[in-house]
A and B are shown apart, each in its own frame.
Chain A
Amino acid sequence: MSNPTETHSKETPWPLWEVFVRSSRGLSHVHAGSLHAPDAVMALRNARDLYTRRNEGVSIWVVPADAISSSDPDSKGSFFESPQGKDYRHATYYTKSEGVKHL
């Protein structure tokens, strides 16, 4: 084996994984955080140890961070449709039925 400094410089960084945890049956997986691991199997094990030490989950997903596509933060205004003047998409817009039961 080579000396430690050399060993370190040879090490390739482990990829980053995003971790999603389903806290109980019937609920969606929710993003819990991220971690580094050499492969998916190790990522799952590390995720279990890191994010579910107190029964926080019944199921875990790990996703390579670079496989996630996301919307551009700079285009907030234009990418997401403006809710302006679209109150009619909400039930509260319709007031004439107030007082009518089961509606």
Chain B
Amino acid sequence: MASQNLQSVPAELSPEEQERERAGQAYFDRIIAEDSRIEPRDWMPEAYRKTLLRQVSQHAHSEIIGMQPEANWISRAPSLKRKAILMAKVQDEAGHGLYLYSAAETLGQSRDKMMQDLIDGKARYSSIFNYPAVTWADMGAIGWLVDGAAICNQVPLCRASYGPYGRAMVRICKEESFHQRQGFEILLELSNGTPAQKQMAQDAVNRWYAPALMMFGPPDDDSPNSKQSMAWNIKRFSNDELRSRFVGMMVEQVRVLGLTLPDPDVRFNEETKKWEHGPLDWNEFKDVLAGKGPCNAQRMERRRQAHEDGAWVREAAAAYAAKQAQKEHAA
């Protein structure tokens, strides 16, 4: 519920403190073994808290930065209905960011610190949002592939061992399904339109396919923290496992769209019973994460600008609240 600061463990512990730590660890281990949930005021290992704080705040930042590629198209949406839908989706993403910031705060980090870290370029967010949305068809491809990959990743997170994170994910997943479907419909409409419209849809799918697959994170043999996250019941499936599942779903759905995936190597491996895909450019992934993607600078600048532009509103609201409180006090 309310945020709770968990002090880091001092190097020298008194016997009583040592006993408390031992009891805390034993209790934590039992909760995890029972696949139950850890709540904010429970004892938790410092590494667990740090891992979660990093993951949940990065996830929150991704939702907030993720508003930008689509917000850029609101004014150019091809109909009033599409404009209303896109606004609702972008508003949802803002909501997702706020649910997740609330969850992260329960781990002992203030909201303002997280916001400031994002603005100062100290925090990471999903690499996908550093790619440009160049045509209207990208609104379709983003909804279908990017929100689709996010759903695939997030459904298992509804069962994450940290209560506030799991609860935020439940709320988010309910809302995400509309995002993916509206994207699918945009692509389907274009695909059934003129040859030029169909080509536009195919081009957008071609652009977003590989970056969407990389949303699941590096391959398992290059993902050092995954094992611990799985042992803590934060992550339920490995990156490659989720990516393979996602490819399988897309193979089915792209047929309904009348389009193709830009990947000649997609196949179902009868032996492993898993979907396989062609090689992905992990150097590009690392570059984009390191700030060298096509839109990193633009996204950060926009976020900074929005924060600064909102400063007078925040100040005015705080001043008004202080004045009202004073009046009430006097009365």
Contacts and interface: CB of A to CB of B under 8 A. Distances in A.
Interface of A: 1, 4, 7-8, 11-14, 16, 18, 31, 33-36, 38-39, 42, 49-50, 53-54, 65-66, 68, 70, 73-74
Contacts of B99: 33, 50
Contacts of A13: 110-112
B82 interface: no
Interface stretch (B62-70, B185-193, B197-205, B313-321): B313-321
A30 B308 CA distance: 35
B1 A68 contact: yes
B311 A4 contact: yes
Interface in B134-172: 167-168, 171
Contacts of A33: 99, 102, 167-168, 171
Interface stretch (B73-81, B90-98, B236-244): B90-98
Contacts of A12: 318
A65 to B, nearest CB: 4
A74 B44 CA distance: 12
Nearest to B308: A4
Interface of B: 1-3, 39, 41-43, 88, 91-92, 95, 98-99, 102, 105, 110-112, 116, 167-168, 171, 175, 307-308, 311-312, 314-315, 317-318, 320-321, 324-325
A8 B2 contact: no
Given A33-B102, A38-B321, A53-B92, A11 B315 contact: yes
Contacts of B317: 14, 38-39, 42
A54 B175 CA distance: 9
Given A7-B315, A13-B111, A14-B318, A53 B1 contact: no
B41 A11 contact: no
Given A70-B1, A73-B39, A35 B98 contact: yes
A12 B315 CA distance: 9
B320 A39 contact: yes
Question: DSSP majority for the B interface?
Answer: helix
B2 A65 contact: yes
Contact of B3 (A16, A49, A74): A16
Contacts of A50: 95, 98-99
Nearest to A65: B2
Most central of A13, A38, A49, A54 by chain B CB within 10 Å: A38
A73 B106 CA distance: 15
Contacts of A18: 1-2
B95 A53 contact: yes
Nearest to B99: A33
B182 to A, nearest CB: 14
A65 B321 contact: no
Closest 10 CB pairs of A and B: A38-B321, A39-B321, A65-B2, A73-B41, A4-B308, A38-B317, A7-B311, A34-B102, A38-B318, A13-B112
A29 to B, nearest CB: 15
A31 B312 CA distance: 31
Contacts of A65: 1-3
21 contacts: A1-B312, A4-B307, A8-B116, A8-B311, A11-B311, A11-B315, A11-B318, A12-B318, A13-B110, A33-B171, A34-B2, A38-B321, A39-B320, A39-B324, A39-B325, A42-B321, A49-B95, A53-B95, A54-B175, A65-B2, A68-B1
